[in-house]
Structure 1
């Protein structure tokens, strides 16, 4: 399976030091968290430290910068668990902290505490109620095209305030859901409770092929609609703005990346979610 890293990690997750980093490096680095807990699922966390402006950024350097020996505790205020860490060869970096006892529930508040060497970083999030996808469809501009976009429909509850994120995962090709470009939505901008929107593929770091914003024939596409908090929306929008404005995607020059992590940077997010699978036409074989 191809190995990918969300562009997010290029922004804030890649680090300037390893578990054995020196005091000098620790002064110039900050602990970075990218963690989430979805309704009906367990917590997942990626952990490292920020890269200095002069640092070299490549896939090898990223692997050397992951924090693998932290103590991460997740709690709902009554129950808590210490996350375990595992090697996932389908990811870059290939290490992720995960839970297996505390399952996310809509409406509940979840805290995270990261203890690493002499540092402690913390955050709190809430899991919003899920909103169900009604449909997801692969549509081409012309029938003869071999590429297209996914269009989704869902109903935004009129009596609720909601923030959304659309994400996709290409079966076999991508091991993780990738937030869609321009896929972070505030329902204040909807003109109707019946929402129909186009999904553009998200940006990846270290892709095997040149980035394209569309999908292609032969893809089996998993489409996810997440409900998220305002803090999460602000984080993802600031991440996207860094790319749109052609700023340094490795280390934001103006530190404008939003965060809800106290003592560090990044995001700890709770998500509601709904997922559909979209089948595309078989890929046509090129003539020999």
Structure 2
């Protein structure tokens, strides 16, 4: 089995467990509970609940995926003060287009949040802690010297934070003309030792599945919304395995037929707390081309 994030949102969105399409026996694999959820500092929780989808063909449509959404699940988020049952609702532009959220509980740095999902015969739990908020001092946005249609972004970060053990940093982004939800920035994961008083971290393009013309740089039509987050250890482990999967999936020498490392007990998937800061970037003025 391998967990695949079909369209990452903030993520990244619905993590669907997919069986290898090489052998027919996988078509009889028992479904498993799949949970994808997060809570940002200063924002409300969002959770998607599905069952895994074994298949023997690549022709899987969004309609097929919707049939695996558990709309009647009871999804609860608890902090040190209260426990709140989330409300299920249609979420346009998401995959799947149905999830759970609430405005009765908000993420706060330094606080721990427990997620519980009940939908008989399934029961799952996960815990995450929101680290201190990540901050970018400034961004450098410059044209690519090798290509007059692309530009590159560098984030200058100097603040060294006291992160949970094995935690780290992650970039997400939205291209205003192409996206509604956050997507993972390619190779956008950093350990604390990458941060120094003079750090310049590259911010690469957004990962989109099935993009055969990927460039790590941005085009001049991309007005960006960048989210820089801190992660606790289990959240970092999930995104580390996700980036390994993205990097190796195109290689004939490495297998990606393994589950992403999640922190959900009783199911597959993740529940992440993010210490987040959001920034808006305008593309640079396109350089003139001399005839």
> Shared fold by TM > 0.5?
yes
RMSD: 3.0
Aligned to 1:203: 207
Partner residue of 2:103? 100
Within 5 Å, which residues of 2 pair with 1:172-191? 172-190=177-195
Which of 225, 232, 235 is matched with 1:232 structurally? 235
1:120-199 alignment runs, 5 A limit: 120-142=123-145, 145-157=148-160, 163-190=168-195, 192-199=196-203
Q: Which runs of 4+ in 1 moved over 6 A?
A: 7-11
TM normalised by structure 2 equals 0.81
Gap change, CA 1:90 and 1:11, over 3 Å in 2? closer
Alignment partner, residue 280 of structure 1? 283
Note the C-alpha offset of 1:139.
1.7
Q: For the residues of structure 1 that align with 2:84 and 2:28, how far apart are their CA atoms?
A: 27
The Cα offsets for residues 52-110 of structure 1, whole Å up to 9 and x where unpaired, read as 25365333322332222211000003212111122122222211211211011111110
* TM-score, L = length of structure 1: 0.82
Deviations 1:141-196 (A, max 9, x none): 23971211221111232665651001111114211111111111111244x23321
**Distance (Å, rounded) in 2 between the aligned partners of 1:172 and 1:68:** 31
Aligned partners of 2:13 and 2:94 also within 8 Å: no
Give the match's secondary structure for 1:226. strand
Matched residue of 1:6: which SS? coil
Q: Is 1:91 paired with 2:94? A: yes
1:19 counterpart residue number? none
Structure 2 unpaired stretches of 5+: 1-5, 20-26
Q: Deviations over 1:13-51 (max 9, x none)?
A: 3679xxxxxxxx997111111100111111001221222
Contact 2:13 2:95 in 1 (8 A): no
CA contact (8 A) 2:175 2:225 kept: yes
Partner of 1:30: 32
